[in-house]
Structure 1
Amino acid sequence: MTAPNPLKRWDAADHLENSEDMVLYLNACIDDDPGDGSLIRAALNDIARARNMSQLATEAGLTRAGLYKALSPEGKPGFDTMLRITRALGMNLHFDQ
């Protein structure tokens, strides 16, 4: 019998314990995004998984499968979808100059 592997793959979703953590994480990803939205999309995926993907999908007016697809590495969610997701997370989008 082999011993269980004590190493677990690191997952940001395991460390997003409250809304403040989620906002700080998303803002850091926005600052570091390469310009194609991939890091922002990945952060929203992590946040969605830290919350409840099914409940978030319902609140955003999406199917669970649609939310997974939109936030997947291959996903190309439209701006309206991103707004629906962030609003369902209780976040607001702001622009500064």
Structure 2
Amino acid sequence: MKSSKAPRKAKAKSRAKAKPLELAPFDAAEYLDNEEVIAEYLAAALENPNPDVFLAAVADVAKARGISALARESGLTRAGIYRGLSAGSTPSFATVMKITRALGVKLVPQKAA
């Protein structure tokens, strides 16, 4: 004999909503404190096919080294550096070379894997 009663639905337990975990913003520039770390960071960024990733990494290194010092070394203005390294920008190759040279970074071409 079949029962005509519908199955009972489990009552939802009321749980106190947990507050979302608050994290401090991550700033890569705080960790770029020596030449080896900087070189590895930029090399990893170059492996990404998106050029914005490399520009963001260069911006992090520039911030770690100091934009004013970079402006003096590169011959670019502070505003030009910020503009060239901002998200979505398309700086000229000459600008990228001036910035990377001033940062003491050498871009070395090699055969793609």
TM-score range, shorter chain: 0.7 to 0.9
For the 8 Å contact 2:28–2:60, the answer to whether it is kept is yes
Q: Which has the larger radius of gyration?
A: 2
> Share of identical aligned residues, percent?
43
Q: Which has the higher helix share?
A: 1
Aligned to 2:95: 81
- The letter of the residue matching 1:29 is A
Three-state SS of the structure 2 residue aligned to 1:62 is: coil
Aligned to 2:73: 59
Q: Deviation of residue 93 (structure 1)?
A: 1.5
* 1:1-97 → structure 2 map (5 Å cutoff): 7-34=23-50, 37-97=51-111
Three-state SS of the structure 2 residue aligned to 1:56 is: helix
Counterparts of 2:64 and 2:49, CA distance in 1: 21
Change (3 A) 1:33 1:15: farther
Runs of 5+ consecutive residues of structure 2 not aligned to the other structure: 1-21
> Structure 2 length normalisation: TM-score?
0.75
- The letter of the residue matching 1:96 is Q
Counterparts of 1:33 and 1:21, CA distance in 2: 21
Q: How many residues align?
A: 90
Instruction: Give every structure 1 segment of 4 or more consecutive aligned residues whose post-TM-superposition deviation is greater than 6 Å.
Output: none
